[in-house]
Amino acid sequence: MKRKIAVLPGDGIGKEVAGGAVEILEAVAERFEHEFTFEYGQIGGAAIDATGQPLPDETIELCKSSDAILLGAVGGPKWDSQPTHLRPERGLLKIRKDLNLYANLRPISYFSSLSEASPLKQEIIEDVDFIIVRELTGGLYFGKPSERTIFEGKEAVVDTLFYQKEEMRRIIELSFEIASQRQKKVTSVDKANVLESSRLWRETAEEVAKNYPDVTLEHMLVDNAAMQLIRNPRQFDVVVTENMFGDILSDEASVLTGSLGMLSSASISVDGPSLFEPIHGSAPDIAGKNVANPLATILSAAYMLRLSFGMEKEAEAVEKAVHSVLDSGFRTIDIAGNNTESLSTEEMIAEVKAALLNEV
Ligand code: NAI
Ligand code: MG
């Protein structure tokens, strides 16, 4: 099959790990006789330096004409003092909005060979396997007004949590669809004891649930969910929540697997190409040192193969290669623990590629 992939490496380690995922996709094309073409676009700080904009129009056009998008990460101290509309993160918010990327999926699963990398007890994280479905284009991160103001003569500020009911319905529906293919349980997370938006969210979830009689719906307040994720994460199958709660809970959940460097994500579009990226940022503290863990991005590429291209056996081959490399004891610095030697980014990519091409 022929597929065109837009690659947006971004900043910091984004460039190092995106390059690794491209190498693995090239190896997939070789082994399974597909034709993948890669076209590169700019986003984030790199785009600001080159064009003055965190997300130039050419990048949007490139994405719209591609079958899927692979993103590294954006940001870094160099751009921290820029005005808000010229910060690298604006590029991320804009690409989500412009491409209608309404649903962010973050699978959280246990890597048996990495149990020592998590600060949590083995008996808590063992066999954890759930997915967080985060609403990505509404809520507090996009609501207007969002500004400094003066209230009763004194300095004040306002952010707005705005949702249309339809935006809630489509993400909740997606979570039920996903749950139907898994353990048939949806945990809807909200703050319905305080927020009106959460009360509408809860009502909408109840309405959607009527169409999925074989899926169990449970509601959980976000503060309790934050605790349950660490106390008893095996209770979850599909967790669905609004934008900000999902942002916070999914970073928290990453602790279960040991390292941010292991977690992939997909952002699904309503009507166009979907975007795949690691959940971590540009890691300025290790950027340029060839030590970043490329596995989150490689696993995001596997996710692309599965969700955007329907290439299930190709996706499984990549995942199997990653697991076999870990089982063989290969580690980058973030998952090495104290007494293991660690591989560079490039060495880790080479190991995964070799495992992929040598599999039968
Ligand atoms: P970060 O995820 O970049 O790094 C947090 C910590 O995890 C650092 O110590 C880093 O070295 C480590 N880490 C992250 N990914 C790793 C990997 N693949 N291998 C090994 N270690 C890894 O988050 P931080 O430091 O809060 O943000 C740095 C910059 O990234 C900021 O400018 C932030 O705005 C941006 N950012 C961008 C995101 C994106 O592009 N989607 C997401 C989160 C942050
Ligand atoms: Mg985050």
pLDDT tens digits in sequence order for the chain, 360 residues long: 999 999 999 999 999 999 999 999 999 999 999 999 999 999 999 999 999 999 999 999 999 999 999 999 999 999 998 888 889 999 999 999 999 999 999 999 888 888 777 888 888 999 999 999 999 999 999 999 999 999 999 999 999 999 999 999 999 999 999 999 999 999 999 999 999 999 999 999 999 999 999 999 999 999 999 999 999 999 999 999 999 999 999 989 988 887 889 999 999 998 999 999 999 999 999 999 999 999 999 999 999 999 999 999 999 999 999 999 999 999 999 888 776 789 999 999 999 999 999 976
Gap between the Cα atoms of 143 and 159, Å rounded: 7
Q: Is 20 in the pocket of ligand 1 (CB under 6 A)?
A: no
Q: Identical fold at 1-106+260-360 and 119-257? A: yes
User: What's residue 360's pLDDT?
Assistant: 61
Ligand 1 neighbourhood includes 272 CB (under 6 angstroms) = no
> What is the three-class DSSP state of 325?
helix
Residue 268 in contact with ligand 1 by CB distance below 6 A = no
Q: Say whether 159 is catalytic.
A: no
Domain residue ranges in the chain? 1-106+260-360, 119-257
Q: Which two tokens stand for residue 1?
A: 């099959």
In terms of Cβ atoms closer than 10 Å to its own Cβ (0-12, 13-18, 19+), residue 210 is exposed
Asked about 247 being catalytic, the answer comes back as: yes
Q: Which ligand is nearest to the CA of 243?
A: 2
Identify which of 48, 117, 59, 56 has the alpha carbon closest to the alpha carbon of residue 83.
Answer: 48
The pLDDT score that the predictor gives to residue 339 is: 63
83 backbone φψ class: left, alpha, beta (φ>0; ψ -120 to 50): beta
Q: Which CATH architecture has domain 1-106+260-360?
A: 3-Layer(aba) Sandwich (3.40)
Return the SS3 of 352.
Answer: helix
User: What pLDDT score was predicted for residue 86?
Assistant: 87
Stated pTM of the model? 0.93
Test site for ligand 1: of 280, 322, 333, 335, most ligand atoms within 8 A of the Cβ = 280
pLDDT tens per residue, range 300-322? 999 999 999 999 999 999 999 99
One-letter amino acid for residue 250 of the chain: S
- For ligand 2, the distance from its centroid to the CA atom of residue 357, given in whole angstroms, is 34
- Mind listing the pLDDT tens digit for each residue in 32-54? 999 999 999 999 999 999 999 99
Q: How far is the CA of 269 from the centre of ligand 1 (A)?
A: 24
Q: Is the shortest distance between the CB of 45 and ligand 1 below 6 Å?
A: no
ipTM here:
0.98
The CATH homologous superfamily to which domain 119-257 belongs is Isopropylmalate Dehydrogenase (3.40.718.10)
Q: Token pair 């008996």 is at which residue?
A: 123
If DSSP codes are grouped into helix, strand and coil, which group holds residue 63? Answer: helix
Contacts of 141 (CB under 8 A, 6+ apart): 93, 243, 244
Q: Is 42 annotated as a binding residue?
A: no
Look at the alpha carbons of 104, 110, 114, 119 in this order and tell me if their dihedral is positive or negative: positive
Among the listed residues 321, 354, 286, 308, the one whose alpha carbon sits nearest the alpha carbon of residue 15: 286
Q: Is 165 designated active site?
A: no
Give the helix ranges, DSSP H, for the chain. Answer: 13-32, 45-51, 57-64, 88-98, 122-125, 165-180, 196-209, 222-231, 243-254, 295-307, 312-327, 345-358
State residue 85's pLDDT score: 81
- CA distance linking residue 285 with residue 92, whole number of Å: 21
Pairing of strands 264-269, 274-278: antiparallel
